């Protein structure tokens, strides 16, 4: 998806709609990298075409992400905190890109490139968490399961 955001950015010299789509796509690249991490962790060796894999993949919700990343243990681990900070920035900018009325200068080309680069870094961070690393387990559990009050 980052490649698509790059293509949109490259074509966005004078096209505000392409910039908006690039920003939205950049956010979704990070979101889908997280969904893949969660599904890979929970289902282990299940085929990506299996109903179980797809169910876990689709279980990740956009709404709670900001809150989940602001809590322990995600906010206390450097790598996970960086991913969370980037995700919140991209989610906020995606909302602006997707829901603000069309207006000239909403996103500059430089800002669009900056956001796409942020997404690229976050996707890289997510994809390079080693399969057996505890950050992978922590992310999957915290992102997919609600914390219940005691």
The string of DSSP codes covering 45-67 is T--TTSHHHHHHHTT--STTHHH
Q: What is the pLDDT of residue 100?
A: 95
**For the residues 27-34, what does the mean pLDDT come to?**
99
Give the distance from CA 107 to its chain's centroid.
Answer: 19
pTM recorded for the entire structure: 0.95
CB neighbour list of residue 129: distance below 8 Å, 6 or more residues apart:
37, 79, 135, 136, 139
Q: pLDDT-derived band of residue 110, with 50, 70 and 90 as boundaries?
A: very high
Nearest to 146 by CA among 34, 60, 88: 60
Averaged pLDDT for residues 117-138 = 97
Lowest mean pLDDT among 42-51, 58-67, 121-130: 42-51
pLDDT over threshold 80, residue 13: no
Quick one: average pLDDT of 37-61? Answer: 95
pLDDT-derived band at 111 (thresholds 50, 70, 90) equals very high
**pLDDT score recorded for residue 148:** 83
CA distances from 35 to 20, 96, 118, 126 (A): 23, 23, 18, 10
């Amino acid at each position: 998806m980052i490649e698509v955001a790059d293509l949109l950015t490259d074509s966005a010299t004078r096209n505000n709609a392409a910039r908006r789509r690039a920003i939205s796509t950049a956010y979704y690249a990070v979101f889908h990298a997280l969904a893949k991490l969660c599904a890979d962790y929970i289902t282990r060796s299940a085929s990506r075409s299996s109903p179980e894999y797809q169910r876990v993949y689709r279980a990740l919700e956009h709404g709670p992400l900001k809150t989940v990343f602001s809590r322990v243990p995600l906010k206390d681990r450097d790598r996970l905190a960086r991913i969370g900070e980037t995700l919140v920035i991209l989610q906020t900018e995606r909302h602006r890109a997707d829901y603000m009325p069309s207006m000239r200068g909403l996103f500059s080309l430089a800002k669009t490139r900056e956001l796409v680069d942020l997404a690229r870094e976050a996707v890289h961070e997510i994809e390079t968490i080693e399969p057996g690393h505890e950050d992978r387990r922590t992310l999957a559990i915290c992102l997919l399961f609600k914390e219940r009050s005691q």
